[in-house]
Structure 1
Amino acid sequence: MAGVVTSARLVARTIPARAAREGSGDAVVRRSIGGYELKRFDPFLLLDDGSSETGKAGFPDHPHRGFETVSYVLQGAWKHEDFGGHKGNLEAGDLQWMTAGRGIVHSEIGDPSRGKSRGLQLWVNLSSQKKMIEPRYQELKSRDIPEGVKDGVKVRVIAGEAFGIKSPIYTMTPTMYLDFTLDPGSHLQQPIPLTWNAFVYVIEGEGVFGSLTSSPAKSYTLLLLGSGDGLEAWNKSSKPVKFVLIAGQPLNEPVVQHGPFVMNTREEIEKTFNDYYSYTNGFERARTWRSENARGFSS
């Protein structure tokens, strides 16, 4: 067990991640947060489970302001590039934590030479005091993500702490992001700060969450957790179950979102559009920049 939980959080709501075409190529996105069933879950704005059968999928040059994007590659590989000259490759198990802050334009393009791809992207809101900070990146190769194993439970500590292991990722909005794999017959107890919102997203297999008498949750399912000091989970099946536990400190601030821009007021959104289309106040480099990835990609 990862820790002592005295009041386990029960599942308050179950949301299936519904598949839809998005981006270019054969990208399929299953969205559980940010869709019509759950617009947001403070401080989280979006959770996408994206995949491509061929790896030829892409999200060409597009902007962000006011939040962070967390990209976690499960299979295949992706190329990324931004207007500040930052570029690289994300392969299976790698993580990118991008703080868009006052503004960034970037591209994310699949690498078809690596075959089928799958990954999660989480959007984490920033407080009003941090929305206009300078953009920054934190990246971890798969080998550098801390891991622990205990009693048939494996954890990859992407953000926060589990099994006494801490992630090197600094979160602007306090966040826990843990990737668990439970072997058949195993049991997990993972503490969660009492005041944080938390959810589970099942990636593969099926598990029981919150109460031993709960119905098993299968892959592509998001479970919103109620109040309590932690999560209890069991694997009563004959195969491993893989899921992420994500929790964060609510900001309790107004949210005004228009696509890739997330601010606190309508006036701030209008100013963001003006900044973007006039190439000012953080978007200056967007005037002439076009990504190499996008130029080499066709749907």
Structure 2
Amino acid sequence: MTDRTIKRRITARPSRDGAGVSLLRSVGQSPGQRIDPFLMLDCFFSDNPDDYIAGFPAHPHRGFETVTYMLDGQMRHRDHLGNEAVLGSGGVQWMTAGRGVIHEEMPEQQEGLMRGFQLWINLPAAEKMIPAKYQEFAAEQITSLEETDSGAQLKLIAGEVQLNGQLYRGPVSGVSRAPLMLDIRLPANAAFSLPLADDRAGFAYLFEGAAQLGEDTLNLHEAGELGAGNRIKLQAGPNGAAILVLAAQPIKEPIAQYGPFVMNTPEEIDQAINDYRNGTLV
């Protein structure tokens, strides 16, 4: 086994999105800070309603997938497909925009902590115009695991892992790029290793505590892009750690992006804009 190292660091920066939601953006701050096929990662967390109450009113997407993972709080999703549900603490929604979707995500709370992640994953050219689809899973539907040796607690959202001699799969299915999405909670000073195929690109994002990835320090609210290798080795600090691990098959195609539209060429972006204006995006 060859341990992955951190080949690039993308420190999260304060930003705002939607109707003024306060968040930290790491991956996707600029075109040069994507990690193929991951276009963007936002971390939102606040117990001040002014930071989140305006939410994400109705808006379009085309050409990629959006993932919302709620750690704390509640968010109501609606889309043009007729899907409507409240995403609660520990829940995940995975929306494949494909040729087009119009949706909104609005807080279902007036006070309290709202914390979670918004992730954008690119689609290859051959899949950018597929029909939109939507998956949602409550906390109890997420595959929850514990490694017996380290005491590591895992929430496996997408992909598969080999643990304690068994193969486990997350509930998300039928999506592009064979993604792995893991929420890993490590007890104080615990060490945890995870095999990861060498054809998977990705990163680890520390959102609580302190940790190392291999011999490298993983800084709080930083996306540490994974170098070459076939194993991730994590070590928690004295107060434990919470780490989001994301990996997938890279696409290696040109990207043209204009806000919520991600295509391969400027001409396709123009078409998406015109389709939205003409009411033919979806």
Provide TM-score, normalisation by structure 2.
Answer: 0.92
Whether 1:247 and 2:241 are equivalent positions in the alignment is no
Which stretch of structure 1 is more off in the superposition, 112-121 or 9-18?
A: 112-121
Q: Which residue of 1 aligns with 2:9?
A: 14
Q: Deviations over 1:216-260 (max 9, x none)?
A: x3431111110000100111x221200111001011111111110
Gaps of 5+ in 1: 1-5, 284-299
Structure-2 separation of matches of 1:208 and 1:190: 14
Structure-1 separation of matches of 2:33 and 2:267: 21
Whether 1:51 and 2:37 are equivalent positions in the alignment is no
SS in 2 for 1:252: coil
Task: Count residues with an aligned counterpart.
Answer: 272
Q: Deviations over 1:115-171 (max 9, x none)?
A: 220110111111111111111011111001011101211111111112221112122
Contact conserved, 2:190 with 2:240, CA < 8 A, in 1? no
SS in 1 for 2:126: coil
Contact conserved, 2:98 with 2:130, CA < 8 A, in 1? yes
Structure-1 separation of matches of 2:279 and 2:43: 32
Q: Deviations over 1:18-72 (max 9, x none)?
A: 11233335x2111111113843111111111123422524111110000000110
Q: Which residue of 1 aligns with 2:231?
A: 230
**Cα distance change on mapping 1:156 and 1:114 into 2, 3 Å:** farther
CA RMSD of aligned residues (A): 1.5
Structure-2 separation of matches of 1:161 and 1:234: 21
**Cα distance change on mapping 1:94 and 1:114 into 2, 3 Å:** farther
Name the structure with the higher strand share: 2
Contact conserved, 1:204 with 1:218, CA < 8 A, in 2? no
Provide TM-score, normalisation by structure 1.
Answer: 0.87
Matches of residues 74-153 of structure 1 in structure 2 within 5 Å? 74-113=71-110, 115-150=112-147, 151-153=150-152
Whether 1:274 and 2:277 are equivalent positions in the alignment is no
Q: Which residue of 2 aligns with 1:294?
A: none
Contact conserved, 2:141 with 2:171, CA < 8 A, in 1? no
Q: Which residue of 2 aligns with 1:160?
A: 159
Shift of 1:114: 5.5
Contact conserved, 2:10 with 2:33, CA < 8 A, in 1? no
Aligned counterpart in structure 1 of residue 199 of structure 2, from 188, 195, 213 = 195
Structure-1 separation of matches of 2:108 and 2:273: 31
Shift of 1:82: 1.0
Structure-1 separation of matches of 2:19 and 2:257: 23
SS in 2 for 1:272: helix
SS in 2 for 1:274: helix
Shift of 1:185: 2.2
Gaps of 5+ in 2: none
Structure-1 separation of matches of 2:267 and 2:43: 32
Q: Which residue of 2 aligns with 1:184?
A: 188
Structure-2 separation of matches of 1:209 and 1:11: 7
State the percentage of identical aligned residues.
Answer: 38
